[in-house]
Structure 1
Amino acid sequence: MAAAADAAVPGGPGPDQSLLQRDVDAVHRTGAVGALARVQSADGHAEARAGTADLETGQPMPWNAYYRIGSITKTFTATVALQLVGEGKLKLDDTVEHWLPGVVHGNGNDGSKITVKNLLRQTSGLNDYDEQLPWVQQFTPEKFHEAPPARPAATGRPSPDPGTGCTRC
């Protein structure tokens, strides 16, 4: 999103609040009912909001609103993966085990049977961890902390064979 990229441009201490607000306002003008953004860097953070949280009351977007940002990540990740395929640096038939040895194993899962293609099609057979983990229930207080990749990967539970099951179609 342009807001995050523009607001994080160096040029002073921390992200530029005015650039972030400009971009959040632009998102709101496209038709979004409300928008809330936060950019964080080693030098500080900036937050911006526009629009309303409740159409009936006109209540503005609350600064401490709960929001998920994960869904758009799949699109960007798939784009980069397909660019790497086009450059010959990655193959659709490469396995998870090839790139992440030992990360996906146990509970009926085998990274040597799950391919990049399975991951991109969301047919890996791995369960959707975000609805199963207690730490996700604590998302709000932890929303700006990173989870190591092994943490969600280790939570796979038995599900359909890779290539046949879709955990979220």
Structure 2
Amino acid sequence: NLRHACHQFALEQIQIQREQLKKIGLFTDYQKYYLTLDKEYKAEQIRVFGSKIPLLEKWQGKKIKVEKIFLGEKLLGLTYFHPYQKGAKGYVVDGSDFIEEKEGTGIVHLAPAFGAEDFAMAKKEKLIIDCPLGPNGLFNEKIGVSEIVNKHYSEVNKYVVADLEKRNLIVKKEIITHSYPHD
């Protein structure tokens, strides 16, 4: 899987960098170092994040209360809503063996029309496999939002962000580059 390949690549690069630093005579303990991809490092980041709640409250402009800390498996079976596909079925928190906490949060969304693992899981769980995006990159009527039907996926971000903000359904927004598995 891609995450495993990235993990292996990172480990290889660490070894290459270590050897290069030895060659230039950098004085350090080459046996003691941290890896941002280690589970323990990520857990510490979560603890640090928890200590930063006051900063997040300041940024959000409102009080944040941590209700409970628990393992993700407690979410299995819960249902949630899609902000645009009202009344649609299939929004259930489910588990899979191709998602691992050590590779991130352990929480992902499925896009059955766009990924092999996602498709296989959707079939197994008898989820709706419907694609609201045509081969030309335009949203079709299946999206259920008249304002973005026949608009290219690259054009709808501003509409979606503004709408989610208006409905108080957005926590944070930022511009990121996301790779898509197509030309």
Please say whether Structure 1 and Structure 2 have the same fold, judged by a TM-score greater than 0.5: no
- Which one scores higher on RCO, CA 8 angstroms, separation ≥ 6? 1
Could you say which structure has the higher strand fraction?
1
Which is helix-richer, 1 or 2? 2
TM-score, normalisation: structure 2: 0.24
Q: TM-score, normalised by structure 1?
A: 0.25
